[in-house]
Structure 1
Amino acid sequence: MKRARKWFAAVAVPLLLAATACSQGGESGSGPAQGGGSGEKPVTISYWVDSRFQLIKGMEDKTPNFGDYETLQAKKFMELHPHVKIEVQALTWDDIPKKVPAAIVGGTPPDILRDYLGRTAQYAHQGVLEPLETLLPKEELDDYIQDYLNMYTIGGHLHALPAYAWSAGMVVNKALWKEKGKEALLPKADNPYWTIEQFDAAIRAVADKGKVFPLGVQIAVPQGDQMIMNWFWGFGAKFFKNGDYSKVALNSPEGVKALEHLVKLNDDGLLQPSAVTAKAGDLDTLMWQGQLGAYSDTLAVWSRLSAAKQQGKTKGDHELVMVHQPNADGVKNGLPVGPTGFAVFKQKDEHKRKWVIEFLKFLNNTEHQQAYAVNAGQFPVKKSAGVPMKDDPNYAVLQKIIQERGLEDMGLTIPKYAEIRVLLQPEVQAALLKQKTPAQALADYEKAANKILSGK
């Protein structure tokens, strides 16, 4: 619970404080004298990013593709510092957990990487990142909510600079229930909770074989593990218990019940088609076509829906609302939180290191923090960024759940997280395919995961 409370503070504080946004604008944190670089030795910086931002609000015509926004940021910095050349590369979600480790092994990692804490933490454990607490000025670090800096401190070093954080609930397309006159079966914004029984009744009310699939769950790849973990938490199962990272805890009576129920939903045709192979993009496609009732996601889904509408990829009505994951009687599960940050790989050239850090500060200045939060549907981590989405009712729902239920521990920063993360999905797939019973699948997962955690 101590860890959950720490994480709660990390996300809740920026929501509860009506901080006034800093007026530094787009050039804050841009470093030494602007427009200069006169006499400076040329520097080339490689900057790799995830596929997060597209069709930035107010810049839609300039940012139709992933990587466009980051290229514009780089261009602005290069205008300020002509001796600096920045090479931007946007990686797909499938490529980022493969290409970065391969580049590290090959000795050619990017200078700056923007990625999820669950992955950057592993690079910290490998000892390939710069310790940022020694490279960033105190006044810069003082602007960050301390709990995020604590979360990013591994082995006494700030391994990356947090940028924004998601929290995931259940996104429901209320329009499908309205069409059938069953809207009353859904939770309301002022009480976003429902039991497993209420959830079952609601999804069965809109099920239409071959046309409408009430629930989407991503189990094809580890990338969507918060979706499946939310399901386990709803039954009272935990990934780890009480901060004990020496062993996983999913193989429990609660965990078995959760997986048994998921198998039954699949047997009854209530999950998306090809449930064991459908990826996040497939779930989005079903949602955009009015064929999916609900799935676990972050506030970023609204930005993706907006982009899909502009691209003519939607069909039917969409009234998306955020609610909590269903929970078993007596269970009051919280929400997962996943920060993304900027990691700097170790530099050999002191001059280049200086300019990599200047670019890092520019990337995470107040103006960019606000843009990240709004366009990713996530929470800013700088005090000066304020609460850029405070009028969003779905943002308020997540805030309410976090305040009342706290956060769940995903073990993101443990050294073996990346290794045990990839083991769960295959076992869930085996259960859905009837290759194993739910009990056997979780027992096999526990055995494999604990072997890795113990190092034996």
Structure 2
Amino acid sequence: MLVLCGCDSAFHEPVDAERVVIEYWHQPLVKLVPGLERQTTEVGDFERYLAKQFMARHPEVVVRTQCLNWEDLTRKVPITVLGGRPPDVLMDYVGRTSGYWYQGILEPLDQLLHGQRQDFRDQFLSDALLPDRDGRQRLHSVPLCGWVQLLAVNRAIWDRQGLGHLLPTREDPTWTFSQFEAALEAVAIPGKFWPLGMQVASEQGDYRVLQFFWAYGAEIYHDRDYSRTTINSPQGVAALEWLVRAHCRGWIQRNVATAGNSLNDMFWRGTIGCLPSGLALRRSYEVALRDKKVTADVDQDGVVDFDLMFTLPPTRDGVVPRLPYGTNGITVFRQQDPTKRHLVFEFVRFLSQTSVISQYARAANQLGSRKSAGSPFADQPDVRRVCGLAAECKPADMGATSPHYYDLRKRLPPQLQFAFLGLKTPAEALADFEMEAKRVLSSSFK
């Protein structure tokens, strides 16, 4: 058994030598799971709950769970891989776990979906299928749940100033780009209120800024060709020029180059009015509301002004709308002992059953990977409407299945920082990123 005090810390009780120990590391994905609110007040509680359920069925097993914060998912796991002691099971974003597949240290998991593949949503399966050394597509991760990026708007910012007519409606949550610009211009207050939240401090959340590249018709990769990047294009330069101008005009907050996880707090406080985000933000909003962190007050009357609405992100006229999907899945590191391998696979089978996926989807306010898990938005007609519109958009290719995804991903933010800080022109920043990308890619594609 395991007692865990907060994310990324653990205490292990002594284990009977005859029992099989499974180390399960995971994202800080959910808390306050519907129906289990009292048992899941903190991140990591739900995974411990699931571990106990599995151990009750398999008394020969001890599952030790460890909740890693977002930063340690990119630091601690690679260190354990280098040391030859990774966890047995890892739940994380497929853009990170794909790198372990290309290192040849993950188990293929196709057998876990035998007879059930049709129940999994195509947009999540496509990110989990990767080529093996013979070129065959293999399942490197069992999809759990995921998100599609939208635009989160606190429409109370505009409504309280009599400017609500500048925004889309819940019945038609779409923008023209000129409408979006007019809405930003109308409420911006230099040095005090920035209508659009953005961050390029790190690669975490890079899809927020990349959404505006897709809005201009730019692509990071074209037609799944991962031998070259294509963001350094006329469309890409135009997109970055727009972002830099928006920053100079006071539409984007001034700490864009250094802001990280504080972006949501700025949203709750009412210092920014909208930000690209997944639907999980609604769950974060409910928690922030409970914790009295939502303090936006437009007219300073002591009453909180917050009305969360989701829309499709704006897209330039003539550009085909593209939205990024992010898939969280469960991977298994190579197992030498066949008995333990069987039990690890049974644990992953348990975690990926419909009922568990449904719980994750509802708690995270994300889309469940299984169709049989139903919709977590049954009581949210506005969200169902915008999700329906999102399903009609083409998926944006972030390169999550590329062997060099993370290495390239972390090289773009510094160039964007230079552009926002005025140290490079947008054209120079993207040209320099392209040069770095060519150096990285030349090691594999010759």
Structure 2 residue aligned with 1:249: 230
Offset at residue 400 of structure 1 (A): 2.9
Give the whole-Å Cα distance in 1 for the aligned partners of 2:350 and 2:239: 45
- CA distance, structure 2, for counterparts of residue 371 and residue 80 of structure 1: 19
Query: Using the alignment, how far apart are the partners of 1:448 and 1:167 within structure 2?
Result: 29
Check the 8 A contact 2:95/2:400 in 1, yes or no. yes
Superimposed CA distance per residue, residues 24-49 of structure 1 (whole angstroms, 9 cap, x where no aligned partner): xxxxxxxxxxxxxxx99411111111
Task: Name the counterpart of 1:56.
Answer: 33
Aligned to 2:322: 334
Report if aligned partners of 2:362, 2:376 keep a CA contact under 8 Å in 1: yes
Shift of 1:275: 1.1
Kept in 1, the 8 Å contact 2:279–2:365? The answer is yes
Cα distance in 2 between the residues matched to 1:353 and 1:98: 26
Q: Output one character per residue of 1:321-347: Cα deviation in whole Å (capped at 9) or x when no partner.
A: 111212222223221101110000011
Q: Give the aligned partner of residue 95 of structure 2.
A: 118
2:64 to 87, 90, 94: 87
Residues 272 and 283 in structure 1, CA contact (< 8 A), matched pair in contact too: no
* Aligned residue in 1 for 2:262: 282
Question: 1:138 maps to what in 2?
Answer: 114
Determine helix, strand or coil for the equivalent of 1:51: coil
Given residue 138 of structure 1, which amino acid in structure 2 is its aligned partner?
H
Residue of structure 2 in register with 1:7 after alignment: none
Q: Using the TM superposition, give the Cα deviation of residue 146 of structure 1 relative to its aligned residue in structure 2, in angstroms.
A: 5.3
- 1:258-289 deviations in Å (ceiling 9; x for gaps): 1111111111222124110100x211111111
Q: Does structure 1 residue 452 correspond to structure 2 residue 440? A: yes
Question: C-alpha separation between the residues in 2 aligned to 1:318 and 1:167?
Answer: 23
Percentage identity across paired residues of the two chains = 40
Map 1:142-221 onto structure 2 (within 5 A): 143-145=119-121, 148-155=124-131, 156=136, 157-221=138-202
Taking a change above 3 Å as real, the CA distance of residues 239 and 137 of structure 1, as seen in their structure-2 partners, is closer
Distance in 2 (alpha carbons) for counterparts of 1:329 and 1:143: 36
Unpaired segments ≥5 residues, structure 1 = 1-38
Q: Which has the higher helix share?
A: 1
Q: CA 1:302–1:146 in structure 2 vs 1: closer, same or farther (change >3 Å)?
A: closer
Could you list the per-position Cα deviations for residues 126-183 of structure 1 after superposition, in whole angstroms to 9, with x for gaps in the alignment?
110011124x262344543456434322123211111112100111011111111111
Q: Secondary structure at the match of 2:284?
A: helix
Match of 1:356 in 2: 344
1:325 aligns with 2:302: no
* TM-score with structure 2 setting the length: 0.89
Contact 1:195 1:329 in 2 (8 A): yes
Deviation at 1:390, TM superposition (A): 3.5
The answer to whether the Cα contact below 8 Å between 2:312 and 2:390 also exists between their aligned partners in 1 is no
How far 1:356 sits from its partner (Å)? 0.9
Distance 2:279 2:193 in 1: 23
Instruction: Kindly state the Cα deviation for residue 394 of structure 1 after the two structures are TM-superposed.
Output: 4.2
**1:60 offset after TM fit, Å?**
2.4
CA distance in 2, matches of 1:108, 1:83: 22
Specify the SS of the correspondent of 1:86.
strand
Contact 2:257 2:417 in 1 (8 A): yes
Which shows bigger deviation, 179-188 or 375-384? 375-384
Secondary structure at the residue paired with 1:371?
helix
TM-score (norm 1): 0.87
Q: CA deviation at 1:212?
A: 2.2
Partners of 2:278 and 2:126 lie apart in 1 by 23
Q: Does 1:419 align with 2:407?
A: yes
- List, as ranges, runs of 4+ consecutive aligned residues in structure 1 with deviation greater than 3 Å: 139-143, 145-151
1:128 pairs with one of 95, 105, 109:
105
Matched residue, 1:32: none
Per-residue CA distance 1:403-435 (angstroms, 9 max, x = gap): 432221111101111111011111110001111
Q: Is residue 259 of structure 1 aligned with residue 259 of structure 2?
A: no
Aligned length: 416
CA apart distance, 1:317: 2.3
Q: Which has the higher contact order (CA 8 A, sep 6+)?
A: 1
8 Å contact kept, 1:40–1:83? no
What secondary structure does 1:172 align onto?
A: strand
Contact 2:365/2:376 (CA < 8 Å) preserved in 1?
A: no
Match of 1:19 in 2: none
The answer (yes or no) to whether the contact 1:187–1:193 under 8 Å persists in 2 is yes
Q: Point out the more displaced range, 39-48 or 260-269.
A: 39-48
Q: Distance in 2 between matches of 1:56 and 1:350?
A: 34
Look up the equivalent residue of 1:149 and give its one-letter code: L
Specify which of 300, 303, 308 is matched with residue 283 of structure 2: 303
Query: 1:170·1:325 contact (CA, 8 Å) conserved in 2?
Result: yes
For residue 219 of structure 1, give the secondary structure of its aligned residue in structure 2.
coil
Distance 1:50 1:307, change over 3 A: same
Q: Which moved more, 1:109-118 or 1:197-206?
A: 197-206
Is the CA contact 1:167–1:398 (under 8 Å) kept in the aligned structure 2?
A: no
Would you say 1:381 and 2:369 are equivalent positions? yes
* Aligned 8 A contact 2:51 2:63 in 1: yes
Q: SS at the partner of 2:310?
A: strand
Are the aligned partners of 1:334 and 1:401 in contact in 2 as well (CA < 8 Å)? no
What is the aligned partner in structure 1 of residue 358 from structure 2? Answer: 370
Per-residue CA deviations over 1:109-134 (Å, capped at 9, x if unaligned) read 11110000101111111110011124
Partner of 2:76: 99
d(CA) in 1 for partners of 2:315, 2:125? 31
Distance 1:237 1:395 in 2: 27
Tell whether the 8 Å contact from 1:169 to 1:323 is kept in structure 2 after alignment. Answer: yes
Of 393-402 and 416-425, the range deviating more from structure 2: 393-402
- Secondary structure of the residue aligned to 2:205 is helix
